[in-house]
Amino acid sequence: MLINDLIAVVGLDHCLTDPDLRAGYEVDWTGRYRGQTPAVVRPGSVEELSAVLALCHAAHQPVVVQGGNTGMVGGSVPLAKELLISVARLGNLQVVSPTKLRAGAGATLARVQDAALAAGASFGVDTAARDSATIGGMIATNAGGMNVVRFGPMGDQLLDAGVVLADGEYIPSLRDTRPDHRAFGLIDHLAGSEGVLAVVAHATLAIGTDPPQVAVAMIEVPAGRLQRLIQAVEELPSVYAIELFGAREVELTAAAIGRTAPLTGDWLVLVECRSAEDPAVSLGQVVGELPAVVATNQTAGGELWLFREALTEAVSRLGVPHKFDVRVPHDALNQLRPRVEAAAPGGTVFVWGHAFSNRYGHPTANLHVNVVGRVDDEGVFDVVEDLGGSIAAEHGIGTAKRHRATRARGDLVELREIKDRLDPAGILNPNVLFPV
């Protein structure tokens, strides 16, 4: 019996079959997506992970892989009764050099950041879910985060990866695979593959040293000035983050954290800059006459960041929100909120996210649209696509959006070919990403 074989590999304590012990793994972070699994298997080493996948492959048992379970699109919960493999125990960390860090798939972002900091460096990707989001999951969704304008998404930090294929074969370095190996070239498609191609066991990530001087500004921006302000900030050599939200969001967060909102307006733009010399001077020139609050040290800057980082929790206190992870061009930013409100008249709409230019130089923004109350998801998707955007930005397509995947991603044919080569039985996340 498969369960007994799995217990023999990971031990009884790490093959959870009791419904009460499985429950936390069977619902996603939003509370919207719930499933059921015959067992939660928690391998504690690469060897155990390899053995578990080999057993599942031989038994034709579909699996879902889960890290910190911070997903929002049903991609890491067993919605079709798949076996659930948790990589949470694969959390080893090693600083390899001043520019490289090796992290197990189950290492949280916060632990990676702490390890880099202890070595006098930093890691480029940052999200508010840092205490629970894991490296494997962040690679799977190609997470962007708040410093995406500076460092790009997770795939840009990925120097190498060790993976386990669907049949249990362990490949310690994708960079070292030979051209005649079936996994050759997988490293270029791993970020954003949502766990359908291989299971990340560990990754080598780029780290670096931050400039010592910091300036953080919250700027009140009229709708008509938003695009020009973003463009001007993005051109600053010192820019690290450009965060967008509005009066509704900052007032909600202020009430949640017991503060007074420092500014209100059509848009609030939170900017962080870092450089060897004080970046406040050049940032101040960009801000000009616009109302702003500027902090020139890490402590005061952290106070301003609270208004952004507490948003997710503040909205969740209002009820279980419908979360839309979308991407829109800068010229559609002012249209998004009113259009979503028109599509969701029974809900309250909250919008925040990151502005940057993508790798092709197109001005874009990854936005987290949250609707508390009644909403037709398809209506919101229609709005985003009508504005020239994408319904999937940082959290993947998962199960929730797979019926629109062909409009959200242009590489599905190529990914399908790779999956057929690496996972011909289709056991890895079989209900994720690809349209039925």
Burial classification of residue 262, based on how many CB atoms lie within 10 Å of its CB (0-12 exposed, 13-18 middle, 19 or more buried):
middle
In the block, residue with structure tokens 């217990």: 7
Q: Rounded distance, CA 250 to CA 106, Å? A: 33
- Measuring CA to CA, which residue among 105, 89, 82, 68 is closest to residue 13? 89
Helices 280-287 and 226-234 meet at what angle, rounded to 10?
Answer: 160
Convert the pLDDT of each residue in 217-256 to its tens digit.
999 999 999 999 999 999 999 999 999 999 999 999 999 9
Tell me how far apart the alpha carbons of residues 118 and 95 are, in angstroms, rounded to a whole number: 9
pLDDT reported for residue 409: 86
Task: Report the percent of the chain where pLDDT is more than 90.
Answer: 80
Mean confidence (pLDDT) of the chain = 93
Cα separation, 141 vs 193, in Å, equals 7
Distance between CA atoms of residues 349 and 341, nearest Å: 6
Contact status, residue 198 vs residue 167, Cβ threshold 8 Å: no
Q: What is the pLDDT of residue 417?
A: 95
DSSP-assigned states of every residue in 193-216: -TTSS-EEEEEEEEEEPPPSEEEE
Give the model confidence (pLDDT) of 268-311 as tens digits.
Answer: 999 999 999 999 999 999 999 999 999 988 899 999 999 999 99
- Average pLDDT rounded to a whole number, residues 52-62: 98
pLDDT for the residue numbered 72: 66
Cβ-contact 365, 330 below 8 angstroms: yes
Q: Comparing 134-148, 296-310, 389-403, which segment has the lowest mean pLDDT?
A: 389-403
Helical H segments across 11-100, by residue range: 19-22, 46-58
Q: Give the model's pLDDT for residue 68.
A: 82
Could you give the strand order of the β-sheet that contains 292-295, starting from the edge strand earlier in sequence? 292-295, 213-221, 267-275, 239-245, 347-357, 363-373, 322-329
Report how far Cα 59 is from the mean position of its chain's Cα atoms.
Answer: 32
Distance CA 78, CA 85 (A): 10
| DSSP 8-state assignment for residue 169 | -
| CATH 3.30.465.10-classified regions of the chain | 1-210
pLDDT at 212: 92
Listed in order, the ranges of the chain carrying CATH 3.30.70.2740 are 318-391
Bridge partners of 352, per DSSP, are 368
Architecture of domain 1-210: 2-Layer Sandwich (3.30)
pLDDT (mean) for 153-171: 97
Burial of 357 (0-12, 13-18, 19+ CB in 10 A): middle
Q: How many CB atoms lie within 10 A of CB 52?
A: 25
CB 218 within 8 A of CB 262: yes
pLDDT at 253 (0 to 100): 96
Per-position DSSP letters for 268-328, written without gaps between them: EEEEEEEESS-THHHHHHHHTTS-EEEE-SHHHHHHHHHHHHTHHHHHHTTS--EEEEEEE
What distance in Å separates the CA atoms of residue 246 and residue 1, rounded to the nearest whole number?
55
Please give the average per-residue pLDDT across 428-433, as a whole number: 92
Per-residue pLDDT tens over the stretch 354-391: 999 877 678 999 999 999 999 999 999 999 999 999 99
> 391, 303, 379: which is closest to 341 by C-alpha?
379
| Model pLDDT, residue 350 | 97
Considering the chain, tell me which residue range(s) the CATH 3.30.70.2190 domain(s) occupy. Answer: 213-313
Choose which CATH entry (3.40.50.720, 3.10.180.10, 3.40.50.300, 3.30.70.2740) describes domain 318-391.
3.30.70.2740
In this predicted model, which residue has the larger pLDDT, 402 or 206?
206
d(CA 255, CA 259): 6
Q: What is the pLDDT of residues 95-137, one digit of tens each?
A: 999 999 999 999 999 999 999 999 999 999 998 889 989 999 9
pLDDT at 335 over 70: yes
* Residues counted in the chain: 436
The CATH T-level fold of domain 213-313 is Alpha-Beta Plaits (3.30.70)
